A and B are shown apart, each in its own frame.
Chain A
């Protein structure tokens, strides 16, 4: 019987788990520890305009995930306006609309951005190069002159663009440039010239992020593509290549930033604030798109998320049980009963949980010993024990409440059916094999439950299981491996000790 398929399976599980985990860390910046801090920018765009009294439509470009930044949450404030988000080829946009408005209007959009140095830029397609670029006289010769000159002094698309920009700036400005600038704005002009030379380019709008700034405006940048579809950002004023780290591209598809229909004097201004947040919070706020690798609990509604938080911990409890049984050799009453008790401890806190558990089981055992005189059928007897357990728990809750011990109320988190079976088993064990076995197995269960609790309640483990689903596969691989362990259990080293003594 070959074990190869088994080890293959374990290997595949392990590898998939690790890859998924690392992928989430690298791609989505989910930190390894819950305490890590992340830089988050809060940017607010304020749209101002004067409404003409009729229907109004406002269309604002919105930032999306990009190099260096990831969009976390977005909010808008705009009383009376209907709002919809559009997401198509021309980027993400917000559209406000109202049937009737007059006077000064203010619309707010705010976005939280996570600074993610290794976030990658999404793929962008170069814009179409318009085919019919025509210049009126005398601009045509001026344009041709400039293009020819820049072509001479450059090697490829990017250096060409740089030369071109420098022709329009500072002391390099010649007559041709000055002539063209009398007729055109600088950025659109450069784009036009680049297109004329067969180079795809567009004007994009970006925001320089500086902590605490208010009433800022967007600045224009040039995005220039080469034949391979690679692109760079160029400063249209200086020709400097590359984007500054604190540049947030707000509109990156060559569309207008703001369009207002039914209003006048429109404008948008920006204020921004930087703060540090625990990384876990930042991650939670991340807008997740549901690709398979990015399969994440965070895409669920908050309530289900907190449920999953617990569910995803159960494998950790199971691992503790497997470790203790296979490697240590601890006996427990009911294989996974300790995990359920540990889950209850998470709700009750360890001390109250332990006290509550011991109280309920002890009182339950006393009552159960009376039931055993009544000669009942097993099912009836266990049912009676269940009712007894409920009664005990209710009694303790009320007593605890009366005495002002609110912690006592959490006792209701104990799984009552499981408790009842525990009591039933213990009491049989007591009758059959005496109190010693009850202590051994009961103690074993309790020790296992406490260890499982400590593992499941560890902040780091909670963080990791909740944020990296790949961990589940790794756990699975470990448990499979443990299921294949043929070595001694720790307690067997003691059990078999006398054999080695002669």
Chain B
């Protein structure tokens, strides 16, 4: 039932308190938070740095504009509405397609014009936002994920989370949505997390609700065979977010789009700790190692360093 603190320490697991004090407040300066806490700002910033993100259909900023939401999404097929300052998948509404009768969620659940309007109105009131401040709603085109992933995920876009510490990718996982997570790939909503080897992008182990898992709960597909294509491109994309934001301890969420390849979905200044569970390994030794590296290495060097040092034993040969 309980692990001893000594055992966790030996495994290099870091807890919330340590994450907050030792990494977030030390490496992420406060004034940079708005860049990542506001998804619209992140999008604009990424554009300046030539990093692709899902296309923006539009934004809704005032209650007055709420009723224009249906006009805005008309002709777009699938789309996602999200609060600019939301987190953890809260307030994200994914619509897979629309027809004359309304809007269909990945689960097949049908929504109507009023539901959409109420959702947007709630977003603007700050219901889903950090600290309850008033917010704006972003409308994005639906991400169509890579074909090969369809057996691994259920009714939603899987995303890849890479923790980037001082510009080095230190740990990665893929998050697969499930019936429980309602089309969103957020772990505490019930998505399955699969740890990925930093060297190769292959699956290490699966976890749902913090408990080990061998297969996908809805599709039944085993998880061990998962392997991300274009792994190096993806790592470089993640690593370059360090230069983009200046945040030292960063969670990058990426998706593999059928047409555009790896895309940046969003950034996180307070990434969760479940990634340790999916990797079966603590972050501490890796973070300690990075802390000992001199500053100033470029993206290629950092990615190469990480792939070399963080490869899991036995998988090293595949990497080189």
Asked whether A498 and B212 contact (CB < 8 A) given A428-B127, A485-B17, the answer is yes
Partner of A493, one of B5, B17, B276: B5
B277 and A499 form a contact (CB under 8 A): yes
A493 and B3 form a contact (CB under 8 A): yes
Specify which chain B residues have a CB less than 8 angstroms from the CB of A433 in the assembled complex.
189
A500 and B22 form a contact (CB under 8 A): no
Asked whether A487 and B15 contact (CB < 8 A) given A375-B118, A500-B7, A500-B8, the answer is yes
Interface residues as binary, A121-134 with B (CB distance below 8 Å gives 1, 0 otherwise) = 00000000000000
Partner of B122, one of A378, A486, A497, A499: A378
* Complex Cα gap A378–B2 (Å): 41
B16 and A494 form a contact (CB under 8 A): no
Residue of B nearest to A485 (CB): B17
Specify which chain A residues have a CB less than 8 angstroms from the CB of B207 in the assembled complex.
498
Q: Which of A421-438 contact B (CB under 8 A)?
A: 428, 432-433
* Complex Cα gap A377–B126 (Å): 10
Asked whether A492 and B16 contact (CB < 8 A) given A432-B90, A499-B11, A500-B11, the answer is yes
Total A-B Cβ pairs within 8 A: 82
Asked whether A488 and B281 contact (CB < 8 A) given A1-B26, A499-B276, the answer is no
B5 and A487 form a contact (CB under 8 A): yes
A494 and B3 form a contact (CB under 8 A): yes
Specify which chain B residues have a CB less than 8 angstroms from the CB of A1 in the assembled complex.
26
Q: Which of B225-273 contact A (CB under 8 A)?
A: none
Specify which chain A residues have a CB less than 8 angstroms from the CB of B53 in the assembled complex.
none
* Complex Cα gap A92–B315 (Å): 91
Partner of A502, one of B117, B211, B280: B280
Q: From residue A268, how far is it (CB to closest CB) to chain B in Å?
A: 69
* Complex Cα gap A377–B17 (Å): 36
Specify which chain B residues have a CB less than 8 angstroms from the CB of A493 in the assembled complex.
2-5, 8
A499 and B280 form a contact (CB under 8 A): yes
Residue of A nearest to B211 (CB): A498
Asked whether A378 and B126 contact (CB < 8 A) given A432-B90, A493-B5, the answer is yes
A489 contacts the other chain (CB 8 A): yes
A288 contacts the other chain (CB 8 A): no
A379 contacts the other chain (CB 8 A): yes
Q: Which of B15, B18, B114, B117 has the most CB of A within 10 A?
A: B15
Interface residues as binary, B8-32 with A (CB distance below 8 Å gives 1, 0 otherwise) = 1001010111100110001000000
Specify which chain A residues have a CB less than 8 angstroms from the CB of B189 in the assembled complex.
433
A488 and B5 form a contact (CB under 8 A): yes
Partner of A499, one of B121, B126, B127, B281: B281
Q: Which of A449-502 contact B (CB under 8 A)?
A: 483-489, 492-500, 502
* Complex Cα gap A481–B125 (Å): 37
B125 and A497 form a contact (CB under 8 A): no
Partner of B125, one of A329, A379, A492, A498: A379
B146 contacts the other chain (CB 8 A): no
* Complex Cα gap A326–B15 (Å): 10
Partner of B17, one of A428, A486, A500: A486
B3 and A487 form a contact (CB under 8 A): no
Specify which chain A residues have a CB less than 8 angstroms from the CB of B1 in the assembled complex.
494, 497
Specify which chain A residues have a CB less than 8 angstroms from the CB of B144 in the assembled complex.
none
Asked whether A499 and B13 contact (CB < 8 A) given A486-B21, A487-B5, A487-B18, the answer is yes
B215 contacts the other chain (CB 8 A): no
B210 and A377 form a contact (CB under 8 A): no
Partner of A488, one of B8, B21, B125, B210: B8
Q: From residue B27, how far is it (CB to closest CB) to chain A in Å?
A: 11
B276 and A496 form a contact (CB under 8 A): yes
Residue of B nearest to A497 (CB): B3
Residue of B nearest to A488 (CB): B15
Specify which chain B residues have a CB less than 8 angstroms from the CB of A377 in the assembled complex.
63, 121, 125
Q: Which of A148-206 contact B (CB under 8 A)?
A: none
* Complex Cα gap A433–B210 (Å): 16
* Complex Cα gap A502–B13 (Å): 14
Specify which chain A residues have a CB less than 8 angstroms from the CB of B7 in the assembled complex.
500
A494 and B2 form a contact (CB under 8 A): yes
Q: Which of A377, A488, A496, A498 has the most CB of B within 10 A?
A: A496
* Complex Cα gap A375–B121 (Å): 9
B125 and A489 form a contact (CB under 8 A): no
* Complex Cα gap A366–B18 (Å): 40
Specify which chain A residues have a CB less than 8 angstroms from the CB of B118 in the assembled complex.
375
Q: From residue B116, how far is it (CB to closest CB) to chain A in Å?
A: 11
Specify which chain A residues have a CB less than 8 angstroms from the CB of B126 in the assembled complex.
378
Specify which chain B residues have a CB less than 8 angstroms from the CB of A488 in the assembled complex.
5, 8, 13, 15, 17
Q: From residue A439, how far is it (CB to closest CB) to chain B in Å?
A: 15
Specify which chain A residues have a CB less than 8 angstroms from the CB of B210 in the assembled complex.
495, 498
* Complex Cα gap A429–B17 (Å): 25
B2 and A497 form a contact (CB under 8 A): yes
Specify which chain A residues have a CB less than 8 angstroms from the CB of B18 in the assembled complex.
486-487
* Complex Cα gap A497–B117 (Å): 43
Specify which chain B residues have a CB less than 8 angstroms from the CB of A499 in the assembled complex.
3, 8, 11, 13, 276-277, 280-282
Asked whether A378 and B276 contact (CB < 8 A) given A487-B5, A499-B13, A500-B7, the answer is no
Partner of A496, one of B17, B22, B117, B277: B277
Q: From residue A161, how far is it (CB to closest CB) to chain B in Å?
A: 69
B16 and A500 form a contact (CB under 8 A): no
Asked whether A326 and B4 contact (CB < 8 A) given A377-B125, A499-B277, the answer is no
Apart from A329-B16, A493-B8, A499-B282, what 10 extra A-B contacts exist at CB < 8 Å? A326-B17, A377-B125, A433-B189, A483-B21, A485-B17, A487-B17, A489-B15, A493-B5, A499-B3, A502-B280
User: Top 7 nearest A-B pairs by Cβ distance?
Assistant: A378-B125, A486-B18, A488-B15, A497-B3, A500-B3, A500-B7, A492-B15
Can you report 18 A-B residue pairs in the complex whose CB atoms are below 8 A from each other? A326-B17, A375-B114, A378-B125, A428-B127, A486-B15, A486-B18, A487-B17, A492-B8, A492-B16, A493-B8, A494-B1, A497-B2, A498-B210, A498-B212, A499-B13, A499-B281, A499-B282, A500-B11
